[in-house]
Amino acid sequence: MSQTSEMIDPVTGEIIDQQEIAEQLLAQAREQGVSLVGPDGLLAGLTKTVLETALEAEMTEHLGYEKHGSGSGENARNGTRSKTVLTEVGPVQIEVPRDRDGSFTPAIVRKRQRRLDGIDEIVLSLTARGLTTGEVAAHFADVYGASVSKDTISKITDKVIEEMTEWSNRPLDRFYPVVFIDALVVKVRDGQVRNKPFYIAIGVSVNGERDILGIWAGADGGGEGAKFWLGVLTEIKNRGAEDVGIVVCDGLKGLPESITTCWTEATVQTCVIHLIRNTFRYASRAHWEELARDLRPVYTASTVDAAWARFEEFEQKWDRYPAIGKLWRNAWTEFIPFLDWDLEIRKVICTTNAIESLNARYRRAVRARGHFPNDAAALKCLYLVTRSLDPTGKGRARWITRWKPALNAFAIAFEGRIN
């Protein structure tokens, strides 16, 4: 039996082909000139039927006898009352059954509930894509013909604050082979609109799964120091992450010292791709391709000595850009650990693709909003993006597959720590 198109009738026990039923209903709707969506559409009618049938089933269970039957108790059916609920297909008017003593408490559509839970998820999904409360309200008016106030939308999104707090304090794995730390610039209005960094930490588990450890708001201008970073890393450690193999970061002041203070055996690794990108900032675009070609022997060298020799050759050739030489010299200490790792490990820590793909989702939402009234609003939006990620989808499978060779190398490099 097909899992997607067939089901068993609970009364007759016969197999029902849902696809066939859907096609019949669609054909009847076309013959009668009924639209698929809208208040009087086919989907609204089906939703009304399903909800009312479920409510009647709940009432039957509550009273102990079927509709039009007779019960032995004092309580009995007492007609219905009309109620309009907002559903995924728009507003639907339903008839809710009542009982004489008012003890019936439906679960499918609760008392005083005016929208189904799926609507809340739609609101959260739209907010995660950067839509403002006004834009979400306009979306419901345009698509569903429903009036949802901006205040209601704010209340729906505020419900995730408690969930976000629990997420931010959840227990973490004992050991992460790699942790990526990066900054995302967000515009926050505090008297005036300012650029403010928000920091994201992503851990890769020993099973190759991506785990977003947390999101933190920084200071205006990104002037965080060792004290700030030690607080962030200590928080991660106190949640269970006792040890980390490699921390990949990008020139954040005070962070390298805090990493080695919190995890004494951790290796601090600068992001090689960010280092290369920053190189281009000091050069004419016409030279970018040649610069990239000349830098490759540096970060693909087999030893530190070989890398330094290639870098001196590079620096001599490109002496017209002294700032590039200074950039690489200042980052050399955090760059060279990269050269000690197995090729499979180099592949995955060479770039922050792990965090860049996530940042792309964050940036889309942030750009759509323009700016936020405060840190809390920005954090809520970033968390909504985080919770919208599919933890079991194809992306997760591709991620784990990509990391498998590196995990085997990590098992050797961190033997005694990874287990």
The per-residue pLDDT for range 131-173, each reduced to its tens digit, is: 777 777 776 677 656 666 777 777 777 777 888 889 999 999 9
Provide the percentage of residues in the chain whose pLDDT is more than 70: 72
With CA atoms as reference, report the closest residue to 414 among 88, 175, 145: 175
pLDDT of residue 11: 41
pLDDT of residue 96: 79
DSSP H or E stretch at residue 398: helix 394-413
Q: Residue 156: CB partners within 8 Å, gap ≥ 6?
A: 120, 123, 124
| Per-residue confidence band for 347, with pLDDT thresholds at 50, 70 and 90 | confident
Please state the rounded mean pLDDT for residues 48-56. 67
Q: CB-based burial of residue 135 (10 Å sphere; 0-12 exposed, 13-18 middle, 19+ buried)? A: middle
Domain map (residue ranges) of the chain:
115-158, 174-413
Q: Is the pLDDT of residue 9 over 60?
A: no
With CA atoms as reference, report the closest residue to 348 among 265, 266, 241, 269: 269
Please state the rounded mean pLDDT for residues 256-282. 89
pLDDT of residue 71: 63
Q: Is the pLDDT of residue 272 over 90?
A: no
The DSSP line for 202-258 is EEE-TTS-EEEEEEEE--TTS---HHHHHHHHHHHHHTT--EEEEEEE-S-TTHHHH
Q: Residue 111: CB partners within 8 Å, gap ≥ 6?
A: 105
pLDDT of residue 138: 79
Q: Which residue has the higher pLDDT, 240 or 225?
A: 240
User: Of 6-20, 128-142, 163-177, 361-375, which gets the smallest average pLDDT?
Assistant: 6-20
The per-residue pLDDT for range 159-218, each reduced to its tens digit, is: 778 888 899 999 999 999 999 988 888 888 877 888 888 999 999 888 888 889 999 988
pLDDT of residue 216: 93
pLDDT of residue 8: 45
Q: Is the pLDDT of residue 14 over 60?
A: no
pLDDT of residue 50: 61
With CA atoms as reference, report the closest residue to 349 among 406, 265, 296: 406
- Separation between Cα atoms, residue 73 and residue 70, nearest integer Å: 9
Q: Residue 300: CB partners within 8 Å, gap ≥ 6?
A: none
- Separation between Cα atoms, residue 126 and residue 138, nearest integer Å: 12
Q: Is the pLDDT of residue 25 over 70?
A: no
With CA atoms as reference, report the closest residue to 37 among 103, 87, 2: 87
pLDDT of residue 383: 87
pLDDT of residue 3: 45
